[in-house]
Structure 1
């Protein structure tokens, strides 16, 4: 299992080279490099269901600091800016100057944050169910902290797979979500809850690169209205941004509808 120490964080990552290369080495030429940032309660495994659509590209996936296999250490910052800094640090560590940044849920704030703050490092952004910071959102995630501190991750694993998915989600898909939740350390999960609670909206108007937003019409965690608001505020030219809505899909898009998400991402990248 490869780990990289980035900004003092030990990050577990996977670096997948394009399948068209005879060696499939991560360093083999690829027309685009994509880096994936997962959301609260998930891991890099969240994205693997869509990778069959992205075999032509270099894909870099990592467990956020304090999530999955990336260990949490008390006293270290966890915030949207720190996650974004880890993205840039990991790209530099792997010799990548510029990438397509793809983020989901909490991680969905990172593409717009980086596109507005470090535009020279972002070729394009893809936001899947992006969370828009607000007082209501802050309250929801603030309330989760004492619950997890008292009851552990089982409190989330026993509720989220049913409450945050669409009506067609299968038992197997819910089991996968449950397993990702149980892979979290309570301390890391709470730190990431606080990162959402304290987050401020990215400067959407300063985003100029091509952008894709994918939303679920049954998503209660990142409602369609919020995704539409983000889309409308982006400074990207109208012809360079897209909003796709998945019908009947909740908040776990790549698990609930991997074929739809994979096709939308592939089409967007092919058009860059």
Structure 2
């Protein structure tokens, strides 16, 4: 990325973020998933979005990366959604295209539900609505949730490679050198992130079904999901697209619970098309 990391005070927490793209371009806010960090949005992925005409902002959720960690605290996905809006406030941004992946998709949905005036468009990637049975996790993947905490960078890297052998895409090549590089960087940024992940997981487990509330979302919405997603079954994507009026579903054959470079043209194309639909509507005066 071409910019340095910064921090913004948002209520009781500080959020670490960075941005790429022209400062006066429409903002696109990227929200990452459980236990993941801003660096897990690939640099080149963000740069391609910026080249399409957006100011792309990615950040560490509370309890991840270089943002504030909250030992002993409990919070909800609503709190994470309010954090995201607080970051927009801190940056002086009235509204943004909101994109979330996995748990970040749940948070993005809640931003649209709780703060509709702050959302130009919504994109929910590899996520679900909280409806019982939708987006279930394969038992093959669950075993990774109870593994021993990696004590070194090398252990963290090899564990991540094993995890993504199960949850990653089957229809696209994995960029293993990049996976190892980013895992090393994430370990350096947050070497003891396990407890933060557990607190985030409690927030996910405590969340209610958003299906009814999503029926009130009126901004252009796209749902992106892979047919090979073992972490969050594609039924989660179908449920999300069915819940939001007029939502478009981009189902990518062979994509798992990751962002493989081979799928970027489809993913980025879907995000940009959805954002442009919103921008056109935003600029069109009411009749």
Gap regions ≥5 residues in structure 2:
279-287
1:213 aligns with 2:223: yes
1:175 aligns with 2:175: no
Q: 1:81-114, CA deviations, whole angstroms, 9 ceiling, x for partnerless residues?
A: 1110101111011111111111000010122212
Q: In structure 2, do the counterparts of structure 1 residues 169 and 178 end up closer, same or farther at CA, with 3 Å as the change threshold?
A: farther
Whether the 8 Å contact between 1:220 and 1:250 is mirrored in structure 2 is yes
Q: State the partner residue of 1:23.
A: none
Q: In structure 2, do the counterparts of structure 1 residues 145 and 251 end up closer, same or farther at CA, with 3 Å as the change threshold?
A: closer
Whether the 8 Å contact between 2:20 and 2:47 is mirrored in structure 1 is no
For 2:145 and 2:165, the matched residues in 1 are separated by: 21
Please state how far the C-alpha of 1:62 moved relative to its aligned partner: 0.6
Whether the 8 Å contact between 1:212 and 1:242 is mirrored in structure 2 is yes
For 2:185 and 2:129, the matched residues in 1 are separated by: 23
For 1:87 and 1:231, the matched residues in 2 are separated by: 22
Aligned partner (choices 217, 225, 234) of residue 235 of structure 2: 225
1:197 aligns with 2:205: yes
Q: State the partner residue of 1:147.
A: 146
1:103 aligns with 2:108: no
* Cα root mean square deviation, aligned: 2.7
Q: State the partner residue of 1:68.
A: 65
* DSSP 3-state at the match of 1:39: coil
Q: State the partner residue of 2:283.
A: none
| TM-score, structure 1 normalization | 0.82
For 1:258 and 1:173, the matched residues in 2 are separated by: 15
For 1:187 and 1:144, the matched residues in 2 are separated by: 18
Q: State the partner residue of 1:79.
A: 76
Q: State the partner residue of 2:259.
A: 253
For 1:98 and 1:205, the matched residues in 2 are separated by: 20
Please state how far the C-alpha of 1:229 moved relative to its aligned partner: 1.3
Q: In structure 2, do the counterparts of structure 1 residues 146 and 262 end up closer, same or farther at CA, with 3 Å as the change threshold?
A: closer
Residue-pair matches, total: 255
Q: In structure 2, do the counterparts of structure 1 residues 144 and 134 end up closer, same or farther at CA, with 3 Å as the change threshold?
A: farther
Whether the 8 Å contact between 1:125 and 1:211 is mirrored in structure 2 is yes
Q: State the partner residue of 1:90.
A: 87
1:11 aligns with 2:5: no
Whether the 8 Å contact between 1:145 and 1:190 is mirrored in structure 2 is no
Worse overlay, 252-261 or 68-77: 252-261
Q: 1:212-268, CA deviations, whole angstroms, 9 ceiling, x for partnerless residues?
A: 11101101122111211111111x3x3xx2110111110012656233212221222
